[in-house]
């Protein structure tokens, strides 16, 4: 089987990268920082790609482990015009083509095929977090795209969002069962064609909502959904007919319009910049503005790892080590590496003196909940949960 064809499209970038003497793309790569191996850094993955493309390397277990070590944080993409991140995705696609992908990829593919989501839950239950009378799309100004994990697993997040929308008097709707996975997880695992098909479905459904329901804005809490709808439509030759906003950006609009006010909270907050909402989405100020709008609240920072220098939570890395039932020897490796990075981030949060570590990313929140060994000194709460708590709303 020819396993090099997928990488051929990046041949120029691969050769240019492997001749680079700078290596600056790896200076803050979370995996390179923690392991210290060039083969796990962006340039190292480029060299692996070169070796596979030229037929000098074989796909082995150690090589597979390195390819899945990338957290998809995007730091290298902001530091190098060659964008090693694209080659990492091509490497994963190549593993799929060669039948060497992580076992979890097969489960993702099965879930996508049967349930239109990577969340391993029946599609017909996607709107179950809503009262039955609200599950059918209706006339509204704002379309809330809940996303897979908030719809099926962290439903309290989706409920928190609509509680605030109702509190502010916003007319909102969802796509109901016409909402499918945005495709981001498929992209991360190397299934780009599948991802594009899902994204196209959603774009067409959103545009129909604009025409038939009067929707003018789409808001999403999930950074993966936000990243997808911000960047992918143009690549597919499509255009969203509505304004795209992350939920924190929309909250800021409501605050400025006087529709969203908070009660006093004398807590000290430290904000974790998520990779997808930050580097990929460019949303840095909105979450901070929300915290600053809370009377009595204090915002501190985990300097210098903030904004585009943020530290990845390893949410996407964590999935490869989430099930010990698989026989893959590297399962424990992914889990332990993820926890090591998350623990360091909690130490940095603790050092700021904050009471609450907050983020606006489901991946960050899941990583922090699973790896928070400092709960006695710093609590982890998503920013949409904070918003409901400081408006006397119950989730």
Instruction: Report how far residue 263's alpha carbon sits from residue 52's, in angstroms, rounded to the nearest whole number.
Output: 58
pLDDT for residue 94: 92
Indicate if the pLDDT at residue 11 is higher than 60: yes
pLDDT at 284 over 90: yes
- pLDDT (0 to 100) of residue 262: 92
pLDDT score at 394: 47
**What tens digit of pLDDT does each residue of 213-261 get?**
999 999 999 999 999 999 999 999 999 999 999 999 999 999 999 999 9
Query: What's the CA gap between 29 and 137, in Å, rounded?
Result: 42
Question: To which residue do tokens 């949303």 refer?
Answer: 283
Residue 375 clears pLDDT 60, i.e. is over it: no
Count of beta carbons in the 10 Å neighbourhood of residue 382 = 23
> In this predicted structure, which of 161-165, 301-305, 390-394 has the lowest mean pLDDT?
390-394
- The reported pLDDT for the residue numbered 318 is 66
Mean pLDDT of the chain: 87
Mean pLDDT score, 176-202: 94
> Tell me, what's the pLDDT at 74?
84
b/e sequence 311-322, b meaning 16+ C-beta within 10 Å: bbbbbbbbbbbe
At 298, list the tokens. Answer: 């204090």
pLDDT band at 371 (very low <50, low <70, confident <90, very high): low
pTM, entire model: 0.91
132-136, 319-323, 347-351, 373-377, range with the lowest pLDDT: 373-377
What pLDDT does residue 75 have? 85
Instruction: Report the range of poorest mean pLDDT among 80-94, 165-179, 295-309, 319-333.
Output: 319-333
Q: What is the DSSP letter of 8?
A: H
DSSP count for the chain of H helices, then E strands:
20, 8
pLDDT for the residue 395: 43
Q: d(Cα 206, Cα 204) in Å, to the nearest integer? A: 5
Q: What is the pLDDT of residue 368?
A: 77
- Where residue 201 falls (left for φ over 0; alpha for ψ -120 to 50; beta otherwise) is alpha
Which tens digits make up the pLDDT trace of 21-44? 766 676 778 888 888 788 888 888
User: Mean pLDDT, to the nearest integer, of 271-294?
Assistant: 93
pLDDT at 73 over 90: no
Alpha carbons within 13 angstroms on the beta-carbon side of residue 20 total 22
Q: What structural domains does the chain harbor?
A: 5-101 (no CATH), 104-255 (3.40.50), 261-389 (3.40.50)
Across residues 266-278, what is the average pLDDT?
A: 92
């Amino acid at each position: 089987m020819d396993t090099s064809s997928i990488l051929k499209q990046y041949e120029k970038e691969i050769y240019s990268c492997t001749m680079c003497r700078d290596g600056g793309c790896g200076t803050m790569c979370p995996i390179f920082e923690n392991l210290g191996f060039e083969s796990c850094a962006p340039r190292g993955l480029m060299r692996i790609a070169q070796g596979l493309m030229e037929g000098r390397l074989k796909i082995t277990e150690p090589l597979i482990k390195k390819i899945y070590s990338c957290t998809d944080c995007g730091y290298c993409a902001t530091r190098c015009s060659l964008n090693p991140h694209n080659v990492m995705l091509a490497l994963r696609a190549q593993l799929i083509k060669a039948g060497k992908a992580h076992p979890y990829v097969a489960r993702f593919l099965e879930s996508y095929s049967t349930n239109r989501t990577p969340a391993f839950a029946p599609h017909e239950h996607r709107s179950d977090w809503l009262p039955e009378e609200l599950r059918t799309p209706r006339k509204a100004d704002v379309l809330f795209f809940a996303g897979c994990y908030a719809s099926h697993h962290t439903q309290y997040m989706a409920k928190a969002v609509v509680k605030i929308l109702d509190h502010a008097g916003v007319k909102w709707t969802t796509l109901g069962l016409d909402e499918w996975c945005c495709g981001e997880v498929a992209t991360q695992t190397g299934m780009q064609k599948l991802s594009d098909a899902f994204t196209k479905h959603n774009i067409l459904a959103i545009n129909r909502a604009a025409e038939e329901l009067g929707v003018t804005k789409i808001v999403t809490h999930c950074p993966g959904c936000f990243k997808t709808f911000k960047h992918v439509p143009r690549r597919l030759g499509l255009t969203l007919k509505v304004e795209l906003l992350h939920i924190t950006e929309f909250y800021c609009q409501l605050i400025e319009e006087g529709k969203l006010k908070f009660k006093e909270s004398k807590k000290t907050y430290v904000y974790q910049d998520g990779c997808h909402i930050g580097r990929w989405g460019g949303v840095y100020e909105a979450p901070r503005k929300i915290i600053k709008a809370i009377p009595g609240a204090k915002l501190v920072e985990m300097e210098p790892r903030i904004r585009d220098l943020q530290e990845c939570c390893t949410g996407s890395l964590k999935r490869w080590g989430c099930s010990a039932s698989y026989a893959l020897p590297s399962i424990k490796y992914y889990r332990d590496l993820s926890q090591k990075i998350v623990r360091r981030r909690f130490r940095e949060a603790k050092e700021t003196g904050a009471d609450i570590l907050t983020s606006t990313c489901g991946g960050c929140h899941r990583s922090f909940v699973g790896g928070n060994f400092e709960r006695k000194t710093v609590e982890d709460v998503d920013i949409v949960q904070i918003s409901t708590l400081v408006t006397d709303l119950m989730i």
